[in-house]
Amino acid sequence: MLEVNSISKKFGDFQAVNNVSFKVDQGEVLGFLGPNGAGKSTTMKMITGFLDVTEGDATICGKSILNETLEAQRNLGYVPENAPLYEDMFVLEFLEFVGKMRSLDKEANKIRVIEVINMCALKDVEFQKIETLSKGYKRRVSLAQALIHDPKVLILDEPTDGLDPNQKHDVRVLIRELAKEKCILISTHILEEVEEVCDRCIIIGEGEKLFEGTPNELKSKSSKGRIQDVFRAITTDQKLQGVNL
- Read off the pLDDT of residues 91-122 as tens digits, 9 standing for 90 and up: 999 999 999 999 999 999 999 999 999 999 99
Q: How far apart are CA 177 and CA 181, in angstroms?
A: 8
What residue spans in the chain does CATH classification 3.40.50.300 cover?
A: 1-75+152-245
User: Per-residue pLDDT tens for 180-231?
Assistant: 989 999 998 888 888 889 999 999 999 999 999 999 988 888 887 788 888 8
Q: How confident is the model at residue 8 (pLDDT cuts 50, 70, 90)?
A: very high
CA angle 23/220/159 to nearest 5° reads: 50
Amino acid, single-letter form, for residue 99: G
- Could you confirm whether domain 1-75+152-245 is CATH 3.40.50.300? yes
pTM for the model stands at: 0.90
H helix intervals, 49-198: 69-74, 91-101, 106-119, 135-147, 165-178, 191-197
Q: Between 245 and 156, where is the model more confident?
A: 156
